[in-house]
Amino acid sequence: MTDKTDITLNINGRDHAISVESRRTLADAIREECGQTGTHIGCEHGVCGACTVLVNGEPVRSCLMFAQQAAGKPIRTVEGLANGDEMHPMQRAFMENHGLQCGFCTPGFLMLAVGVLEKEPDITDEDLVDVLSSNLCRCTGYQNIIKAVRAAAIEMRQS
């Protein structure tokens, strides 16, 4: 299993030329080969959503995708949300609404929420809760995450 293939991962607009085994997960490649450790690994079986990133604009569990499958496709991670010092409205809303405690699940929630709202800016509150129920958080009880995403949705619609 040590045969490696050269691929290029485009993360937040930057190319990373890496060499990976075919079994290497996208999550591991993003974190280890590309050094972007903001994407977290919580279960490695596709349930918790901590490793959610956007590939081609779609939220995906990066622990369930092989790095080679994402080669050449635009990947967005939490590191690419802010514009320099200026946080993305979603990040700001999480801060203002105390939508995080330990912060481990947060990058996954941020990417999930941003990915969904960019495609469906007028998503109903009920559908939004349904979407957010696909990721796990153990600290907040979700209340403030839902509040934050709703607040950010309003701001994202206006901008």
Partner 1 sequence: MSVARPKLVGQSIVRKEDGPLLRGQGRFAADVNFPNQLHMRVVRSTYAHGNIVSVDLAPALAIPGVHAAWAFADVADIPPIDFRLTKLEQLAAYRQTILAKDRVRYVGDPVAVVFADDPYLAEDAAEHVVVEIEELPVILHADGETGEFRDGLSTEPAIIRKGYGDVDAAFANAHATVSLSLSIGRHSGVPMETRGAVGRYIADTDMLEMYGAAKVPHWNRDQIAKMLGRPPASVNLFEGHVGGGFGVRGELYPEDVLVCLAAMRLGRPVKWIEDRREHFIATNHSRQQTHHIRAAIDRDGCILAIDDEFFHDQGGYMRTHAATVPDLAAAMLPGPYRVPVYRAVGHIRLTNKTPGGTYRAPGRYESTFVRERLLDAIAAETGVDGVEIRRRNLIDKSEMPVTRALETLGTDIVLDSGDYVRLLDKALDGVSWTALQAQLKQRRQAGELVGAGVAMFVEKSGLGPFDDVRITINTKGLVEVVTGAASVGQGVETVIAQICADTLGVGYDSINVIHGQTDRIGRGLGAFASRVTVMTGEATRLAAAKLRDKVLATAAGLMQLPADSLDIVNGEIVRSDSSAGPSMGLAEIATALAPGAKFLGEREPSLFAEASFESRHMTYPYGAHVAVVRLARDTGAIDIERYLVAYDVGKAVNPMLVEGQIVGGVAQGIGGALYEEFTYDDRGEPLSVTFADYLMPTAREVPHVDVIISEDAPSPLNPMGLKGAGEGGTNAVGAAIAAAIDDALGQPGAITQLPVSPQMIKAILKNNL
Cα dist. 148→54, 126, 158 in Å? 20, 15, 16
Count Cα neighbours of 11 within 13 Å in the Cβ-side half-sphere.
24
Strands 52-55, 74-76: pairing is: antiparallel
Cα dist. 92→77, 96, 135 in Å? 16, 6, 20
Q: Which member of 8, 19, 22, 102 binds partner 1 (CB under 8 A)? A: 102
Compute the least distance from the CB of residue 57 to partner 1, in Å.
Answer: 19
Amino acid identity at 29: A
94 in contact with partner 1 (CB under 8 A): yes
Chain-centre distance of CA 146, in angstroms?
16
34 in contact with partner 1 (CB under 8 A): no
- 3-class SS at 18? strand
User: 62 with 26: CB under 8 angstroms?
Assistant: yes
User: Binding mask 46-85 vs partner 1 (x if CB under 8 A, - otherwise)?
Assistant: -xx-x--------------------------xxx-xx---
Nearest CB to partner 1, comparing residues 75 and 100: 100
Compute the least distance from the CB of residue 7 to partner 1, in Å.
Answer: 17
Of 68-76, 117-125, 137-145, 150-158, which segment contacts partner 1 by CB under 8 A?
137-145
Q: Give the binding site for partner 1 (CB under 8 A).
A: 1-2, 21, 23-24, 31, 36-45, 47-48, 50, 77-79, 81-82, 87, 91, 94-96, 98, 100-107, 110, 129-130, 132-146
